[in-house]
Each structure stands twice: as structure tokens, then as C-alpha cells.
Chains A and B, each alone.
Chain A
């Protein structure tokens, strides 16, 4: 049976922002539709409307030409609309089957038969009786998908499903999605990743600032054309020249670093070795939760590991705290920009004062030198094109991009020899990402080194001179970036080995 879904003139206004502005789109079964857009373009709002989580201010949704009311997620389920969110809604300690039976009205015996059929039909390999916490991200996502499939959905909506997957798991997912599509399920695929749109989807609707700016067949599109539509301006693609650093001076050397945590939610690090040359960018890839956090904190001095050797410019810094390491010209941009790198309740200049060390003279004889800090802050705001010149503004009123520029600016204005950054561009829009990327390339060109810990492979391939992968607290071999491909990274990130 054919399914037709139509949204007509949907609008949703939040205070201070129009999330959806008269959106009209049509979808028909047998095809995979991409909904493409930057963060904040309005994709998620539209998806929430379709899944009954948010009510539109105006407009209607038609299923097979009949107007339907979606007042709650239950209404969406009744209309056979299935939804897989970016974050999993699973009980970690329950078994796979228990998770599936929780919101099912079928008897356990019948349900097991149905689930087994689904597993067989789509050749999913999941043990139904092990706790969910033992599953990989890809498998957890399959459980969410199975949960939808149990209800024979006509429509399946996937919200940025690949953000937690490895390349292999992504390929797997795409294979399954194509099968579902063949079986007549209408698939709406939300993403901001252009490559995925081209390799998976049949039609693509691009959203920008709450409006649909284009609907087209993916066959007619290229990465560049989609990117331009998504961002609304011609982007000059930046790619770093990869240099050879064989003869450069070694700036950082870590040997045999081990970290064993008392906290079961932290990852232990085993025998890490790395070295970094002057002017070089070392990329560290990996799926989040494989020890990146711990590695960052060890580099920044938030975690002091006993008996570890960290040589920075021929000095042993292993026992120094972050402030002392800054004296030796290291700088750090942590992943959590909102509540760690800055304090939202503090004013911009106060946040700038966080990066303080003796030679900055922010505090003379223990007293605050407010004038100096403010001057310094103004310099950061203008040099790093932060969208305000008011240093008294509380940093909670800065957008993510501006806040990150402020933080990177704060860290870089002291001309450090090494910048360690952890996911510097997550959640930012393309404009801000480009700015941060250009800045990171610039510091390498100025002969300063950087370590980029990131879960975004494109970013890593774009900025790094050498790349390695962290998996379960172990580093892979460090490879030259020009020999690395996304596929290789994917294999290593998933725990496989290459060569």
C-alpha cells in the first residue's frame, strides 16, 4: 500500500525565533527523503511536530489525504509514524527483549515471534536476552529501530542517526534503511551530513532559518551545491597543506602513560605514547567515551598521573596543574564549552581572567587588575570577531559560536606553543566551524603545535598532519594524514585493525 505524507503550511514560533515558517512538503512511500540543514535550521522542530512532541502554531499534517492531529507521541504511534531519536531511550540494565516489551501491548510470547521474524528478515544479529548496556551504539540503534518495526510503521523518521556510529555501522544502517524503503516504508532522514544525503537518499529538502529553501532529486545534486544551499553562501573549502615535520623540533613527548580510574564510568588509559613536532597538528579520532576525556584532562593537568612522563619543550610537566602548565605556554580548549571552559553566570572579562598565569598580570599582588583584564578582553573580542564588544556581558548570552571564538581567542591570545582542543566545533553552525578551522590552521602556519581530539572525522582529516585513533583507552599507530581515509579511521574507531 502506498503512503503519502503531506505537511501543509506548518509554522512554529518560539519566543525570539521562528523555528518553522510555513513549511509545506510532500513525501511518498518507496523513497528515502533527506531533510538537510544546519543546527537551528528548524529540522528538529519539524520532526518533533511529526512525532507529536511539539504542536504547530499553524498548519496541518495529512496522511493519505486525511488530516491528522498529532497531539502526543501516542497519536504518532497510532498513525504508524515511527521515530528514532539521536539519543537512545533505552533502559541500560534491562535486556533487549525487556526494553522492547515495555511499551508493547502484545503478549511476550507473540512479541518474541514478531521480533525474531524482524531479526531474520533484516538479518540483524542481536542477542535478545543480554542487557542493553553490553551493546554497541549501532546495536542499540537497531533495538530502537526494531521497536518501531514491531508496530508496522508506514513512516520511519530518523533524527541524525549516524552521529554515534562508526563508518561500518553507518553502512549497515544504510543497507537496512534501503531494505525498509523497498518494503514500502516511507523514510525521512534528518541530517547535516552531505555525503550521507548523496549516498542514501532519493530526494532532499534543504532547510535554512526555518524555511524550506529547496527540494530536489539527489541525482541532480553535488556536495558543493547542497552545501551552498544549506549555508546560503558560497563557501570556500579549506584544506590544510600537509607538511613534513621529520626534521622539526619535538615539542611534546608522552611515554608509557597509564591511567587507572576509580570511577567505573571513566575509561582507563593504557600505555599511551605520542610525540608532537613544532608546528604540527596531531589529530586524535575516536567514538566518544573511548578515553578522550581522560586524555584531555591528563594533557591539561586536571588529572595528575603519578610517575608519568610528559615532556613539554624539554621540561617535565607531568606534575603541574593547568595554571602552571599555562606558564610553560600550553593552552586548552575543553569539550564542554558551556559549563567548563567558561562559567555562564560570569561576565566575559571574568571568563577571560580564567586563563591566568603570572605573566598575564591580571592579578597583581593578589589584587584584581580589572582594567588590564578588560583591555585584554576587548582585544580578544575584536581579534577573534566575537559578535559583541561589551566585556560586561554575561557569557550565557553568547551563542555557541561566539562563545567558542571567545574561548579559543582567550587561549590563543597568549601565543601558546601548544593548543589542546577537544571537539572544538560540536554543535556550531558552518560559519563558526569554518572560522575555528581557519584559526587552527593559522596557528600551525605560525609554527605553533596543536592536538585536536575530535569525534568529527571530516574535521580531523581537514586539519591534522598526523592522525591516530583512540579506542578503549588505547592509541592506534600514528599515521600521516595523507595516507588516512575515512574508511580506515572507521575501522580503527570500531576496534578493528588495518594493514
Chain B
């Protein structure tokens, strides 16, 4: 007979070390997969995790990918900490991109320092408004935010599709499903010549700092923490539950919207069908790998960003599909959840008792 018991005290250092363990297990599991596919596992892992960041360009690409992941995960941590399951960051990212992109197109022949801030702001507001849909439906109509936020991802995707094919498509674009290129003043400044790392990284870093401030030093952060641990207590303490749900969704949506607008004004420079390689979904893994902690999320976003790069390198050098990256992301989550289970519960193997058979 097997019995599962809750562990009472989990040490804080082990709590933050298990994600590291999960990453090593992922490497090990990945090695096995490569071995089965007929590659030398060490070599393959090297192509996957070392080669992509062995030069300056690679490191810059890592930061380019980590910038949106980190930003979205920071936003999501507000929701997840307070027991609100916002699964639709991808949709909020796309909608933020749509609104920001729309404003950018409006200014396509304008120049001026004010253009970019307006675009960024409108992108954040777009993501925020889109996230408020599941929040308001949850608070006033008792809907399930997981379903609503997830379904809205497809709404946003199809809306983007419609816009880039139809009304917003580039008049000189030979009917390609994309918009005009944004004007120079609508683009994130590139930090160094020759590499793609852009000013969006500062938005991310500022958000990390602000989120730390809010989560650990403000009354709002305290309310989020208490509601996440015990809704009964939050009610007893008289926290305004509904307002808080809407606020955390707004923060989360604004972050995702910022990430979206950062992508289109940064590396992409226009709107087209695939403005995000599922950053919004992958950021869920980042948030949990980083233990919903701002600093943890920075590290987690770098590691998960590496799986994106590794997948591209592996596609070139090993001729494996780029979806290997998602396999690795999946494994990280799997091993993280698995080691968490063992962290919070102990499994006791008891001898079989005759009478119980």
C-alpha cells in the first residue's frame, strides 16, 4: 500500500533549488531523447544549449527572447499568486500588439520622440483591456477565467489574421499578409550596432523592479499574497476580492501587451500573422520555474529563452524540427511539477497487509 503524506516544513533554499534540479533532469531527459534519435547526446546538447550563446550575437538573441518572456511571466505572477488562472497571456500579447501596431500604422509617416511612447502606452492599454474581459466575467458572472482567457487567445489571433490580410495589409505589399513597415520613430531603439537587443529590455527590468516593490512592499501585494494562500482569510480580513481580481488581471494584461508591442516595434517592425512564437504560453512555464518570484523569473526566462535558440540551432545542425524546443519546455514543466510533488509530499511505502486484500 502506498500512502502520500504532506510534508509540513519545506526549507526555503530547497524550494528555490528544485527548479535547478528540474533543469538538470530536463538536460538528462533531453540527452536520452537525442540518443534514441541516434545522436551523440553530449554533442547534441552542446548544439542545443552551448553553441547558441557562444558569441555576442547569440547572447543578444538570448536577451531578445528573454525580454518578452520575463515581462509576461512577471505579469502572470500577480495572477497566479492570487489564485487567478490567467492562461490567455498570448491573446493579451497579440491584442496589445494589434492596438500598438494600429497606432504605429497611424503614425507611419510621422516622426517625433512622442510616437514610440504613445505606441507603447496604447499597447499596454490594449493588453490590459483584453485581460479585463475574463476578469470582469469572472467577478460578475462567475465564469471560469481559465476557459475565457484561453478562448480569447484565438479571438485575438483571428482578429490579427483578419487585419493583416484585410484592412491593414500593406497597400504596396503584393497581398502578403503583413502591414507596412513602421516608421523609424515607431521602432524600439537598438542598443548596439549589429545585434538585435533593443530598449524593450529596460521596460522588462523596470517591470521586474516594480513588481518586486508591489508584491513585497505594498498593501496590494499583501492582499495578493493572502488571497493566494487562503481565500477564506482574505474574505475575513475584508479585502475587496472583486477589485483585486480585476487589478491583477489588468497588471498581467498590461505586461503581456507591453511584451507584444515590444516585439512589433523591436525585432519585427510591422504586424504579420506570427508576431509571437507562443511567448504568452511559454511564459506560464517561466513564471512557475521562477517560483513566481521576480528574481527567479529573470533566471527562468533566460533558460527558457535558450530552448528557443537551441531549437533553431538544432534545426540547422542536427536537422531536427524546431518543435524540439517545445519538447524541452514541456520537460522542464514536467520535471518541475514532479519534483514539486515530491517536495511537498512524501510517499510512504507500507507493507501489504493481508487483511486489506
Contact = CB atoms under 8 A, between A and B. Distances in A.
Interface of A is mostly: loop
Interface stretch (A101-109, A246-254, A338-346, A439-447): A338-346
A145 B12 CA distance: 49
A396 B7 CA distance: 13
Interface string A253-290: 00000000000000000000000000000000000000
16 contacts: A72-B355, A75-B355, A300-B236, A301-B238, A324-B238, A326-B238, A339-B232, A340-B230, A340-B233, A342-B233, A343-B226, A345-B229, A368-B216, A368-B217, A368-B218, A396-B8
Nearest to B236: A340
A346 B353 contact: no
Interface in A344-370: 345-346, 350, 353-356, 363, 366-368
B193 interface: no
B356 interface: yes
B348 interface: no
Contacts of B46: none
A183 interface: no
A339 B233 contact: yes
Interface string B223-239: 00110011011011111
Contacts of A71: 353, 355
B229 A346 contact: yes
B238 A325 contact: yes
Contacts of A354: 226, 233, 236-237
Contacts of B237: 322-323, 354-356
A430 to B, nearest CB: 26
Contacts of A355: 237
Interface residues of B, number: 23
B218 A346 contact: no
Nearest to B219: A363
B238 A340 contact: no
Nearest to A368: B217
B240 interface: yes
Contacts of A341: 233, 236
A263 to B, nearest CB: 13
A172 interface: no
B356 A343 contact: no
Nearest to B238: A323
B226 A346 contact: yes
A39 interface: no
B233 A367 contact: no
Contact of B238 (A72, A74, A321, A366): A321
Nearest to A339: B230
Given A363-B222, A367-B217, A368-B222, A322 B236 contact: yes
A72 B355 CA distance: 8
A58 interface: no
Interface string A175-192: 000000000000000000
Contacts of A367: 217-219
Contacts of A366: 218-220
Contacts of B225: 346, 350
Interface in B280-310: none
Nearest to B237: A354
Of the candidates B218, B219, B226, B355, the one having the most CB atoms from chain A within 10 angstroms of its own CB is B219
Contacts of A332: 236
Of the candidates A322, A323, A340, A355, the one having the most CB atoms from chain B within 10 angstroms of its own CB is A340
A72 B356 contact: yes
A424 interface: no
B222 to A, nearest CB: 6
Interface string B195-219: 0000000000000000000001111
A401 interface: no
B355 A74 contact: yes
A314 B33 CA distance: 73
B3 to A, nearest CB: 14
B222 A350 contact: yes
A332 B233 CA distance: 12
A343 B218 contact: no
B353 A302 contact: no
Interface residues of A, number: 33
A296 B222 CA distance: 25
Of the candidates B229, B235, B238, B356, the one having the most CB atoms from chain A within 10 angstroms of its own CB is B238
A75 B219 CA distance: 57
Contacts of A324: 238
A496 B214 CA distance: 56
Contact of B229 (A334, A343, A363): A343
Contacts of A368: 216-219, 221-222
Given A340-B232, A366-B218, A367-B217, 18 more contacts: A71-B353, A321-B240, A322-B235, A322-B236, A322-B238, A323-B237, A339-B230, A339-B232, A346-B229, A350-B225, A354-B236, A355-B237, A356-B237, A363-B222, A366-B219, A367-B218, A367-B219, A368-B221
Contacts of A323: 237-239
A127 interface: no
A11 B235 CA distance: 44
B158 to A, nearest CB: 37
Contacts of A321: 238, 240
Nearest to B214: A366
Nearest to A346: B229
Contacts of A326: 238
A343 B216 CA distance: 17
Contacts of A66: none
B235 A302 contact: yes
Contacts of A375: none
Interface in A400-420: none
Nearest to B356: A72
Contacts of A302: 235-236
A368 B222 CA distance: 8
A72 B353 contact: yes
Top 5 A-B pairs ranked by shortest CB distance? A323-B238, A322-B238, A363-B219, A321-B238, A354-B237
A326 B229 CA distance: 22
A302 B231 CA distance: 12
B9 to A, nearest CB: 8
A341 B236 CA distance: 7
Interface in A61-79: 71-72, 74-75
A92 interface: no
A354 B219 CA distance: 10
A336 interface: yes
Contacts of A345: 229
A346 to B, nearest CB: 7
Given A363-B222, A368-B222, A336 B238 contact: no
A302 B237 CA distance: 9
A75 B353 CA distance: 12
Contacts of A396: 8
B11 to A, nearest CB: 12
Contacts of A346: 225-226, 229
B298 to A, nearest CB: 23
A396 B9 CA distance: 9
